[in-house]
Chains A and B, each alone.
Chain A
Amino acid sequence: MSKTKYTYAVARIRALEVSLLTNAVIEQLLACKSAEQALQLLVEKGWGGDLTAGTLDADEVLNKEEEKMWQTIREVAPDMHVFDVLSLPKLYHNLKAAIKEVCTEVENKNIFYDDCEITGEEMFALVQNKEFDKLPGNMPATAREAFDTLLHTRDGQLCDLIIDHATLEAMLEAGKKSGEKIIEEYAQTAVAIADIKIAVRSQKTGKNAEFMKKAMVNCSEINVDQLTQAALAGAEEIAQYLEGTSYREGADALRISPSAFERWCDNKMTDSMRSQKYESFSVGPLLAYLLARQNEIKTVRIILTGKQNEFPDEAIRERIREMYV
């Protein structure tokens, strides 16, 4: 029966896919004159759930949608550990935020994510009491190292670097542990894209090889040494390196702009998930739904922020991601 354990979940996801935003709806949002009008359109599509129409706030609606998305997956998934790959960045973000709060003695409750394994409050208490061993996976050693580094050097970027590196390693590990090919492939792609983004940003800010090697993680598609050498040589060299990998189409996007590359990365991920529309018994459609929801929430956030700040339509349009349905 293990081969059919996702039957209920996939059927429920199929029914939910009907309410995903289509490219046509995104066009409608783009055509709205103001952020308020766009938000109203989203509310008519059922976004925001039970939030009352009079007190609508864009962030509140988007957060509610994110919460609803995880709630659905929690309800349908027979095993949530398969989705660790997606929730790990939030968990490590909480660690990063807690270490900074404890070390700088500045409190801000709003910087934590509460919809992950260890909530902000719990993480803060663990870090404050230095109970690092209670953290899961590779977190205890990472937390100890990042905490000591920040305390002794006061270098926030170095602290971020240690935790971000550990996040990528944990994602790869979680991908392998999931036992699902598609989750492992997603983890590999997510880490490869993170490596490329690190290389691009490091090249722009003139970071040295040591910094890049500390930040990046080797994965099936990316060789850290080669990417570092390319980044040290220049932006065009990064694009040339990518041409020798399965991210060759991304090289063209990278030559246009970093934001075009980020858009290409998201579109590639959506494209690679499209075949999951025809799967009926695997975890694939659940992952595809999660990514599709994240993608549409990100796109809506771009549109609303663009409209709030009165960006020209063209500037918003070039950042719009393709939708899954």
Chain B
Amino acid sequence: MNIAGELGVVYGLLGAAIAVLFAGAGSALGVGIAGQAASGVVTEDPSKFAKVLIMQLLPGTQGLYGLLVGFITLSKIGILGGGGVEVSVQSGLMILAACLPIGIVGLISGIAQGKTAAASIGIVAKKPEQFGKAMLFPAMVETYAILALLISFLAVSGIQL
């Protein structure tokens, strides 16, 4: 295989890698931060395990969004589900650009959501009856990850090869 001839596919693959890698890293960091806070609370009060576990999982969605965009990108450039797709350099670069929103926003929002979830875990530790309100704060951060997913998804799907 001649790399120069297949440069379009390489760019497309790079886009898929960015989506999965950055969004996944954001989620890993976010879930890690929230997990530290959750462990702190469960050490003192194991009965709050279920509530803090939900909080810890909230920053995990960015990784899934990255995975989703990664899948449709791989499928688009023919790496998944059979080959035979010609990807020009221009199309490859367009796919790469389309993958950037979920990659970058996924990384930043994952970390930010993890910190917010850790702070909200503090609410659950002191006032478990306020669980619903506590969950809303990290959920707000999710909005921007969803917006980025939407644009990446629409853009990757809409690119004509």
A16 cross-chain contacts in B, Cβ below 8 A: 44
- Whether B122 lies near A14 (C-beta < 8 A) is yes
Instruction: Known contacts A4-B33, A4-B36, A18-B126; decide if A11 and B41 are in contact (CB<8 Å).
Output: yes
Q: Report the separation of the CA atoms of residues A74 and B53 in the bound assembly, to the nearest whole angstrom.
A: 26
Instruction: Known contacts A4-B33, A280-B115, A281-B115; decide if A12 and B40 are in contact (CB<8 Å).
Output: yes
- Whether A9 lies near B118 (C-beta < 8 A) is no
- Whether B45 lies near A15 (C-beta < 8 A) is yes
Contact with B along A271-285 (1 / 0, CB 8 A): 000000000110000
Question: Which residues of chain B from 14 to 39 have any CB-CB distance to chain A below 8 Å in the complex?
Answer: 33, 36-39
Distance (whole angstroms) from the CB of B123 to the closest CB of chain A: 8
Distance (whole angstroms) from the CB of A128 to the closest CB of chain B: 42
A12 cross-chain contacts in B, Cβ below 8 A: 40-41, 43-44
B126 cross-chain contacts in A, Cβ below 8 A: 14-15, 17-18
Q: Report the separation of the CA atoms of residues A148 and B137 in the bound assembly, to the nearest whole angstrom.
A: 62
Q: Report the separation of the CA atoms of residues A16 and B125 in the bound assembly, to the nearest whole angstrom.
A: 8
Within 8 Å of chain B (Cβ to Cβ): is A254? no
- Whether B40 lies near A9 (C-beta < 8 A) is yes
Contact with B along A12-44 (1 / 0, CB 8 A): 111111100000000000000000000000000
Instruction: Known contacts A4-B36, A7-B36, A7-B37; decide if A14 and B125 are in contact (CB<8 Å).
Output: yes
Within 8 Å of chain B (Cβ to Cβ): is A232? no
Q: Report the separation of the CA atoms of residues A280 and B126 in the bound assembly, to the nearest whole angstrom.
A: 13
Interface footprint category on A: 10 to 19
Within 8 Å of chain B (Cβ to Cβ): is A76? yes
Distance (whole angstroms) from the CB of A30 to the closest CB of chain B: 25
Distance (whole angstroms) from the CB of A46 to the closest CB of chain B: 12
Q: Report the separation of the CA atoms of residues A280 and B125 in the bound assembly, to the nearest whole angstrom.
A: 12
Distance (whole angstroms) from the CB of A169 to the closest CB of chain B: 35
Partner of A10, one of B37, B44, B48: B37
- Whether B40 lies near A7 (C-beta < 8 A) is yes
Q: Report the separation of the CA atoms of residues A9 and B38 in the bound assembly, to the nearest whole angstrom.
A: 10
Instruction: Known contacts A14-B126, A15-B125; decide if A280 and B118 are in contact (CB<8 Å).
Output: yes
Within 8 Å of chain B (Cβ to Cβ): is A211? no
A-B contact pairs, 13 of them (CB 8 A): A4-B118, A8-B36, A10-B40, A11-B118, A11-B121, A12-B43, A12-B44, A14-B41, A14-B122, A16-B44, A76-B40, A280-B37, A280-B115
Binding site for B on A (CB under 8 A): 4, 7-18, 76, 280-281
